[in-house]
Structure 1
C-alpha cells in the first residue's frame, strides 16, 4: 500500500491590528479557499522570508496599509482536508501616515468589535484566537 508523504504545513502570518477598541478584519475573496469568511489580515510566508516582513508585505499588497509588526499573539496549527496551515498571529500597529485600509486584494475590510467575532464567520484555523482577541478588545 502506497501512501503519499505528508505535505509540509503552509506558513501564514496574520495581524491582530487593534485601534479604538476594534480589530481589523478582511473577508476572503470569491473563488478562494473559504471564500466569504472573515479573517485576520495577512497571508502566506514565502520560503526564506521573515514572517514579520511577510506580514507587512501582505498588508501593503492586500489592504494598502503600512504597519509595524510586534510580538506574536498566538500560534495555531490546523489541518484542513486539503492542506495544513501553521498560523503566526502578530500584534501590529499602523504606521504614522498610513492610509485607511481598503479592499485591494480582498473582498472587504472592516473594523470589528467583540460582538462581530462570531466563530462561525471565521475559518476554523482562526477560531482558537477569537477568545483572546475578544479579551484584548475588552481591555
Structure 2
C-alpha cells in the first residue's frame, strides 16, 4: 500500500422528474490504474464547513446550480466505504442529500478546478435502471445500492 487517506464528502442526488438524476463520468487521480467511474455530484468538505455548506458550495462549483440550504433534503444516508487499488488504499465517508429540480439542465464547468477539467469525461442524466442495466461502475463503492434502495423506498 502506498498510503492511507480518509476523506469526508457530501454527495447529491440531483433529482429531476421521472427519477432521473445527474452523474459525472470521472477519471481517478493520475497514477491510479483504474478505469473511470460514474460519480454523484459533490466532493470533499473543507475545514470548518458544515455538510450543508459543503454541499451548496460543491453543487455550485460542479454544476453551476445555485441552491439555498432550504432546497437540500437530508442527509438521508451516511455511507462508509473502502477500496483498495494497485497504487493506494482509500476510505471515506459520504453523506448523501437530495436536491429536486424541475427539469434536467446542462451543468456549467466555469467553476471547475484544473483537476476537474482533467478528470471529468462527461455527464449524463440517468435512472437507477440505466445504471443497473448497463452495469456501470459507480463510486464510491456501494453507493449505487444505497441510492437504489432509497429510491425504491422513499419519496424525495
TM-score by length of 2: 0.68
Q: What is the number of residues matched between the two proteins? A: 132
Deviations 1:38-80 (A, max 9, x none): 1111000111111111111111111211233221121110122
Mapped contact 2:16–2:104 kept (Cα < 8 A): no
1:89: Cα distance to partner?
0.3
Q: Does 1:76 align with 2:79?
A: yes
Q: 1:58 to 1:65 in 2, by over 3 A?
A: same
Q: Confirm or deny that 1:122 pairs with 2:138.
A: yes
Q: Which runs of 5 or more structure 2 residues have no equivalent in the other structure?
A: 110-115
Moved >4 Å (runs of 4+): 30-35, 136-139
Over aligned residues, Cα RMSD in angstroms?
Answer: 3.1
Which residue matches 1:20?
17
1:92 matched residue in structure 2: 99
How many Å apart are 1:115 and its aligned residue?
1.8
Q: Matches of residues 1-139 of structure 1 in structure 2 within 5 Å?
A: 9-21=6-18, 22-29=20-27, 31=29, 36-67=36-67, 68-81=71-84, 82-94=89-101, 100-102=105-107, 104=109, 105=116, 106-118=120-132, 120-123=136-139, 124-135=141-152
Q: 1:54 to 1:80 in 2, by over 3 A?
A: same
CA distance in 2, matches of 1:29, 1:7: 20
In structure 1, stretches of 5+ residues that fail to align are 1-5
